[in-house]
Amino acid sequence: MIKSLYFILLASFFISCKKENPTINIKKTNTEFEASKSNIDTLAFDIKKFEKYSVYKSDTTKIEIEIPVSKTKSVVTDSINKLLLKKFHSIFTNDTLHEPKNFDAICSTFITEYNDYLKEDSEYSTAWEAIGHASINYQSPKLINVTISYYAFTGGAHGNDASLSFLIDAKTGKQIKKENLFSDLKGFTKLAEQKFRKQQEVPKNVNINETGYWFTDEKFHLPKNIFLTKKGIELVYNQYEVASYAEGPIVLLIPYKEAEKYLKIK
């Protein structure tokens, strides 16, 4: 799923290099994680879209945000909404002085910042673009995996895109650190390194960075974002995390049958 998203993003980007205002199509995921098949007490969500546009000359600056909105109110759904509000505010705006009021306000701020930039540089004509999609990627009685995929272009050589994962306690709504997923973190990390080296064709007995990667202290580590999917644990190294932008995102899937013995929460 995540890997397919990035192929779409990258393909769209290279095509759009011929234009000043690239358009990226964000792939959407099932917000209920096929609840009918999982036989668990899942929360139900609808998708709500927020968008604003600003036309300048022949180009249109736009922002679109889609989020899952729960049909029921609870401490968990309230926590998810606040999380998404805060994250999209930090991704799509430069406003660090104010707390975001709502998603409409985020969209308005993005457009205002573009218009303010035009006032400073009247010859600037490149449109900006922001596209964000949030999903409930996975649910179990213990945790909920909230994900964000986004693309933002505000000038420069290229836009920025990434996939983010947040693990939420299904009872309290509090975030769970990725390390707390595992009963044997070292064992899982060792397995992940073996998978990484095989997939990326890094020889077993050479330094992990010898083939061009940027792992801190030249030691393999898990990515910042870990996704739970139907097929297994998905590790996503976003662009610039351990390799250059040109390398693109690196996605590694570890099936549950291999990861199960290292997991504490699923």
Does residue 31 register a pLDDT over 50? no
CA distances from 219 to 58, 181, 190, 206, 213 (A): 49, 21, 11, 11, 10
Domains and CATH numbers, the chain: 2-176 (3.30.565.40), 180-262 (3.90.640.20)
The least confident of 2-11, 45-54, 112-121 is: 2-11
CA angle 109, 113, 115 (to 5 degrees): 115
For the whole prediction, is pTM greater than 0.85?
no
- Identify the CA nearest to 46 among candidates 27, 65, 32: 32
- Identify the CA nearest to 54 among candidates 110, 100, 121: 110
Provide the CB-side half-sphere exposure for 229 (13 A, CA): 18
The confidence band for 41, taking pLDDT boundaries of 50, 70 and 90, is low
Provide the CB-side half-sphere exposure for 199 (13 A, CA): 12
Q: Contact 22/159 with Cβ under 8 angstroms?
A: yes
Q: Is 118 helix (H, G, I), strand (E, B) or coil?
A: helix
H/E segment holding residue 236 = strand 232-237
Beta bridge pairs of residue 45: 70
The confidence band for 139, taking pLDDT boundaries of 50, 70 and 90, is very high
Does residue 16 register a pLDDT over 90? no
The least confident of 5-9, 48-52, 62-66 is: 5-9
Does residue 33 register a pLDDT over 80? no
What's the pLDDT tens digit per position in 208-254? 999 999 999 999 999 999 999 989 999 999 999 999 988 999 999 99
Residue at 184: amino acid letter: D
What is the spatial distance between Cα 28 and Cα 148, in angstroms, rounded to a whole number? 10
pLDDT, the chain, mean:
86
What is the distance between the terminal CA atoms of the chain, rounded to a whole angstrom?
A: 19
- With pLDDT > 70 as the criterion, what percentage of the chain qualifies? 85
What's the pLDDT tens digit per position in 66-125? 999 998 899 999 999 999 999 999 999 999 999 999 999 999 999 999 999 999 987 888
What is the spatial distance between Cα 203 and Cα 96, in angstroms, rounded to a whole number? 44
What is the spatial distance between Cα 143 and Cα 38, in angstroms, rounded to a whole number? 14
